[in-house]
């Protein structure tokens, strides 16, 4: 079975090259060998934009168009809309009951964002709950990997703690012992005995290698035993850890290791700084924006030698140019052999080339909005099947299946 990947983006504006190089490119790549789920986090957008619903309305389907234009394949990836799945809200509510307030108040993005977005009143209940809603998004799909930027690490960490706490509080099935015995029987006598030995060792000493060996037995069973089910792995994984049944799975953050594309001014590319190039920016605009970009501040005249390390354009070359072009341009810059406009031209060309297929695919989709809606409808129904299943397990674990 392919491991499940889940991520979301907030529909608060047109996607730009920073989104593409920082996230979307990686999302596209992950489709090749993972079971990917990507969703429009419109509720999360509302936590900061509750006074500007038109921004969100305008951007939900536009963002999906950007995604598909960039190469997300609706056949392979499940693309869906958060607000169509009340299951996320239900899990959020249930998790909220046992989540200590301090866990949320201590998430670093909480105070940071309140500081940064001073023009918005973020002293709301919804904004404090932001990372917990994100935890619900992730846990409801039992995602293994969550591709996100470094700024989201603390949210994934919180998700792991919430899952651990949930499993600890509610992971003891009434028939836990007999279910464990049945799953152990499937392993066969030798493996079951070896597994139990590792479990005892881990329980007594906390030895990491005992845990790894126990997990190894489960991994082997999941590929080699035909009657083995993912539920068996979940059950014995909980048994091994002494935490009862694993109902909610702890996810891992997956950070992209790509050269970061800064904004036109060299800072982080962000709509609020007005330093972006949209994925679907008009070619003349792309050209004008790059031509206006600041360069090495010490290179005032064409005849002044420059230093690429001080120049924001150079960071674009790190993303868009190959080694030999860079070597040439750097020498030209340092010797004042080339002018800045000359140096910028290959960047302009590369961006236009990159955008060309996006523009074509986006034009097709814009002309057929019914198709975009259908893609989201279908993805949402696929997601719903998974979300419902998890919620049935969660309700049962919490004793809500009266
Ligand atoms: N908070 C994420 C961001 O701002 C968006 C998001 C919401 C998300 N729910 C998620 C990302 C679940 C990954 C998984 O980028
Ligand atoms: Fe920047 Fe290129 Fe000009 Fe050097 S020549 S300052 S690297 S734009």
Band the pLDDT of 401: cuts 50, 70, 90.
Answer: confident
Cα distance between residue 372 and residue 79, in whole Å: 10
**How far is ligand 2, taken at its centre, from the CA of residue 306, in Å?**
6
Note if the pTM is more than 0.95.
no
- Picking from 178, 186, 194, 185, the residue whose alpha carbon sits closest to that of residue 240 is 194
Amino acid 258: pLDDT: 66
Tokens read off for 329? 């341009």
**What's residue 245's pLDDT?**
75
SS3 257: coil
In the reported structure, the alpha carbon of residue 257 is separated from the centroid of ligand 2 by a whole-number distance in angstroms of 25
Sheet with strand 145-147: strands edge to edge: 78-81, 35-40, 4-9, 145-147, 252-254
- Give the pLDDT confidence score for residue 171 in this predicted structure: 83
pLDDT tens per residue across span 97-127: 999 999 999 999 999 999 988 989 999 999 9
By most ligand atoms within 8 Å of CB, the mutation choice from 137, 142, 163, 387 for ligand 1 is: 137
**Greater pLDDT, 388 or 245:** 388
**In 106-207, which ranges are continuous DSSP H helix?**
108-116, 125-128, 130-139, 153-170, 176-187, 189-205
**Band of the pLDDT at 16, cuts 50, 70, 90?**
very high
* Interval 304-355: pLDDT, tens: 999 999 999 999 999 999 999 999 999 999 999 999 999 999 999 999 999 9
Measured distance CA(182)–CA(277) in Å, rounded: 58
**What are the chain's domains?**
4-169+248-260+369-397 (3.40.50.620), 172-241 (no CATH), 280-366 (1.10.240.10)
Residue 23 beta carbon below 6 angstroms from any ligand 1 atom: no
Ligand 2 midpoint to CA 316 (Å): 11
d(CA 14, CA 366): 14
Q: How far is CA 115 from the centre of its chain?
A: 24
Pair of tokens at residue 290: 């790059």
The rounded distance, in Å, linking the Cα atoms of 23 and 184 is 41
Please report the sign of the dihedral spanned by the C-alpha atoms of residue 135, residue 152, residue 43, residue 71: negative
Residue 204 is predicted with a pLDDT of 83
DSSP-assigned letter for residue 186: H
Query: In ligand 2, which atom is closest to the CA atom of 308?
Result: 7
Residue 99 has a CB neighbour count (10 Å cut-off) of 20
């Amino acid at each position: 079975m392919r491991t499940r990947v889940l991520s979301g983006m907030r529909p608060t504006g047109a996607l730009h090259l920073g989104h593409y190089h920082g996230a979307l490119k990686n999302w596209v790549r992950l489709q090749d060998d993972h079971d990917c789920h990507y969703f429009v986090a419109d509720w999360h957008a509302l936590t900061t934009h509750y006074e500007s619903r038109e921004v969100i309305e305008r951007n939900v389907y536009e963002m999906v168009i950007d995604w598909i234009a960039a190469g997300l394949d609706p056949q392979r990836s499940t693309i869906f809309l958060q607000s169509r799945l009340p299951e996320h809200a239900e899990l959020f509510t249930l998790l909220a009951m046992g989540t200590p307030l301090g866990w949320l108040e201590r998430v670093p993005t909480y105070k940071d964002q309140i500081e940064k977005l001073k023009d918005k009143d973020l002293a709301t209940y919804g904004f404090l709950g932001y990372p917990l809603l994100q935890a619900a998004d992730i846990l409801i799909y039992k995602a293994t990997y969550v591709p996100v930027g470094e700024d989201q690490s603390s949210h994934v960490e919180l998700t792991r703690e919430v899952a651990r706490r949930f499993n600890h509080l509610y992971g003891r099935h009434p028939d836990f012992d007999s279910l464990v015995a049945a799953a152990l029987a499937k392993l066969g006598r030798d493996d079951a005995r070896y597994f139990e030995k590792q479990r005892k060792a881990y329980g007594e000493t906390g030895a990491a290698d005992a845990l790894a060996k126990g997990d190894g037995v489960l991994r082997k069973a999941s590929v080699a035993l035909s009657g083995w089910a993912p539920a068996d792995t979940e059950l014995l994984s909980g048994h091994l850890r002494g935490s009862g049944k694993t109902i909610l799975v702890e996810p891992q953050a997956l950070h992209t290791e790509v050269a970061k594309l800064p904004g036109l001014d060299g800072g982080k590319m962000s709509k609020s700084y007005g330093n972006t190039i949209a994925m679907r920016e008009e070619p003349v605009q792309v050209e004008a924006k790059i031509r206006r970009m600041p360069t090495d501040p010490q290179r005032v005249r064409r005849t002044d030698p420059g230093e690429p390390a001080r120049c924001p354009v150079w960071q674009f070359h790190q993303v868009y140019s190959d080694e030999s072009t860079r070597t040439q341009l750097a020498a030209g810059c340092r010797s004042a052999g080339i002018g800045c406009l000359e140096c910028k031209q290959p960047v302009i060309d590369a961006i236009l080339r990159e955008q060309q297929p996006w523009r074509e695919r986006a034009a097709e989709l814009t002309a057929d909005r019914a198709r975009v809606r259908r893609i989201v409808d279908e993805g949402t129904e696929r997601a719903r099947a998974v979300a419902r299943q998890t919620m049935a397990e969660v309700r049962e674990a919490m004793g809500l299946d009266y």
